[in-house]
Structure 1
């Protein structure tokens, strides 16, 4: 059976992760999951998103962490908030970052990681693979 596993990674900051994603696994646990899957020979990609302004200035460190974890593919997701999410993020002082998204794309590609955009039905994306379950 063919399979691909995607693991969401939104940042490296544990404190920020606890605030933005309460109850979700911490960044280090997500990176360990990528490493374990890659080491087991399972095709795994990092779903990076939404790319938020809190990643600005940390793009290189973030790309190094994803590459070191063993991801060979990444899917980038820009922030597309619904009305209620927009209000919540505004209260938290968080927004999407096109600048960080571009730097992360470039940084991952420079490390040999294939990058595609989330929700773009392209044959390049691991999210669109005929015959893969």
Structure 2
């Protein structure tokens, strides 16, 4: 009987340590998915503009307009310190897009200069 109590206590201890960490990983994955959705919608709008032969100045308003119809993305605040320019010949000035939500999560979308390689990471 005592062995059973010891086993139950160990299971409770392990669950008490593992579950909060697991929940944190789930939350981080959900945030990353939201940031990737924001970038996907934004880049779709960029491609549409580039197909028409126009250069695109990517700023916070451009990102907000691209994601305006998605309620789950409205909670994110967007900051683009310097407009990122995409040219029709697929060259970009590069730059950073800062995203933060109401819960305090802060993410960075970094667009590299010239080739436009995108890196998404938590700040």
- Same-fold call, TM cutoff 0.5: no
The structure in which a higher percent of residues are helix is 2
Higher relative contact order (CA 8 A, sep 6+): 1
The structure in which a higher percent of residues are strand is 2
| Structure whose alpha-carbon radius of gyration is higher | 2
